[in-house]
Amino acid sequence: MALKPLSSLPTTPLKINRALLSVSDKTNIVELAQSLHDNGVVLISTGGTAKVISEAGIPVKDVSEVTGFQECLDGRVKTLHPMVHGGILARTTHSDDVEEIEKLGITPIELVVVNLYPFKNKIKEDSSPAVATEFIDIGGPTMIRAAAKNFAHVSILSNPSQYESFIEELVKGEGISFGMRKKLAKDAFNQTAD
């Protein structure tokens, strides 16, 4: 199938309906999850992040409920699935994409909250290659880059320092601005390039 770029990107504010949260650094994740929930956002999460959110009394769906597939390979494969990435990469203002995801049973994900395993810290600790390789994140960078690529239709939070300003914009109830989404995408690409 040939790539069909859009003639322009939608610049209207983005309403967040569903969010996928999968973080290594859980700083302020409960506060973010609570704000999202209070604003009617359905939360989807993985492993330890889902546990922290659930233990705080906030409703959260495990990502396996979305994919229909359990985590495997000792947690190495959780989110690498078309039901996740189709939801992140769908251009929801593009009728062909909307028709295709409806046909496939994929629901859009408008917010991705991911930060990465502390790989640089682990290799500085002179750990063995066997230990260090377990901190190489595959799913996280994939979701970050997918969301950043599709910033016209998705917001990406890749660092806890971004949560406060995002929540401020969210609670206004007018959607997440194009300018904020663009800045968050740029930050995300910089982080995955580091």
Q: What is the CATH number of the domain that holds 108?
A: 3.40.50.1380
Residue 45 in any domain: the answer is yes
Residue 6 in any domain: the answer is no
42 Cβ neighbours under 8 A, 6+ residues apart: 17, 18, 19, 61
Give the total number of structural domains in the chain. Answer: 1
Task: Answer for the pair 19, 38: CB distance below 8 angstroms, yes or no.
Answer: no
**Helices 139-149, 82-89: inter-axial angle, 10-degree rounding:** 30
- Residue 73's domain comprises 18-193
Per-residue pLDDT of the chain (194 residues; tens, 9 = 90+): 555 665 667 788 899 999 999 998 999 999 999 999 999 999 999 888 999 999 999 999 988 888 766 775 565 566 667 788 899 999 988 888 899 999 999 999 999 999 887 666 666 666 677 776 666 666 677 889 999 999 999 999 999 999 999 999 999 988 999 999 999 999 998 877 76
The whole-angstrom separation of Cα 15 and Cα 147 is: 15
In this structure, the strands spanning 18-23 and 111-115 are: parallel
